[in-house]
């Protein structure tokens, strides 16, 4: 069951991703993006990161896809098509991406990873464990980045409002 499920979900992820980069209609690209986010949430579920899967749907599908679609709605007419880039631009991009992919895959497959088996008793990181990690101040704790991310979100909020607001002329 497991390999088939993985390949099915991976196919949906890649299909959605191709829809994002090759679709002429930007709104359809936004829909493909939402589909990709959902499929990636399923991948996180398969990797036993259930909290992250739900957070992915909540934030990516529920907020980021929505805000990108707002941007599309405010800057496009319905059904407006965007022509693809000329081949002189697509070809080097394709070559570059394939080169990167081959390099990365070569590095992955010619490597012996220090893997460890999944121990059902200790390995699952529950929400409570994540809470302890986020609020821990000792060596393995993430309190400082956690607070910094809060400040970052505040800055992004204020900055976005300032940049996008109409100037009073």
Partner 1 sequence: MNTVGLNEYLTLSVVLFSIGLYGVLTRRNAVAVLMSLELMFNAVNISLVSFTRFMGGGFEHAMGLVFALFVVTVAAAEVTLGVAIVLALYRTFHHINVEEVDLLKW
Partner 2 sequence: MNGFDHAFEALFNQLPLPDAVRQLLTMKVVLMLISMGLIIGFISVLVLFLIWLERKISARIQRRMGPMTSGPSFLRSGNMWFGGLLQTAADAIKLLTKETVTPADVDYIVFVLAPCIVFAASLMAYVVIPFGPDASVSDLNVGVLYLLAVGSMTVLGIMMAGWGSNSKYSLLGGLRSVAQMISYEIPMIFAVLGPVLMAGSLSLQEIIQVQERTAWFIWPNIIGFVVFIIAGTAETNRPPFDLPEGESELVAGFVTEYSGMQFAMFFLAEFSNMFVISAVAAALFLGGWSLPFGITQMMRASGMPHVLFSALGAVVFLTKTLVIVLILMWVRWTFPRVRVDQLMHFGWKTLLPFSFVNLLIAAVYMIAYKQIFGEAVFKQIFGAMS
Q: Which residues bind partner 2 (CB under 8 A)?
A: 25, 27-28, 31, 34, 50-51, 54-55, 57-58, 61-63, 65-66, 69-70, 73, 78-79, 126-128
CB atoms within 10 A of CB 30: 21
Q: Which of 79, 88, 114, 169 binds partner 1 (CB under 8 A)?
A: 114
Q: Which of residues 8-67 bind partner 1 (CB under 8 A)?
A: 10, 13-14, 17-18, 20-21, 26, 29-30, 33, 36-37, 40, 43-44, 47-49, 52, 55-56, 59-60, 63-64, 67
CA neighbor of 35 nearest in space, from 9, 55, 54, 67: 9
Q: Which of 8, 135, 147, 159 binds partner 1 (CB under 8 A)?
A: 159
List, in order, residues 6 or more apart from 13 with CB less than 8 Å away. 36, 39, 40, 43
Residue with tokens 């607070």: 147
User: Interface with partner 1 includes 143 (CB under 8 A)?
Assistant: no
Angle between helices 26-46 and 65-75 (to 10 degrees): 180
What is the rounded CA–CA span in Å between residue 120 and residue 111?
26
User: Interface with partner 1 includes 93 (CB under 8 A)?
Assistant: yes
Supply the DSSP symbol for 165: S
User: Interface with partner 1 includes 96 (CB under 8 A)?
Assistant: yes
Q: Which of 77, 139, 144, 163 binds partner 1 (CB under 8 A)?
A: 163
């Amino acid at each position: 069951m497991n390999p088939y499920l993985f390949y099915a979900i991976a196919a949906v992820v890649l299909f959605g991703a191709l829809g994002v980069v090759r679709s002429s209609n930007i709104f359809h690209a936004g829909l493909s993006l939402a589909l990709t986010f959902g499929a990636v949430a399923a991948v996180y579920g398969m990797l036993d990161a259930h909290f992250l899967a739900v957070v992915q749907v909540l934030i990516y599908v529920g907020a980021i896809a929505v805000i990108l679609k707002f941007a599309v709605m405010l800057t496009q007419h319905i059904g407006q098509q965007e022509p693809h880039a000329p081949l002189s631009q697509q070809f080097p991009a394709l070559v570059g991406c394939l080169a990167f992919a081959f390099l990365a895959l070569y590095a992955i497959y010619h490597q012996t990873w220090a893997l460890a088996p999944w121990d059902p008793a200790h390995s699952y990181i529950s929400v409570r464990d994540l809470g302890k990690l986020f609020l821990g101040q000792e060596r393995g704790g993430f309190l400082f980045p956690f607070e910094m991310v809060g400040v970052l979100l505040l800055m992004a909020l204020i900055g976005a409002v300032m940049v996008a607001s109409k100037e009073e002329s």
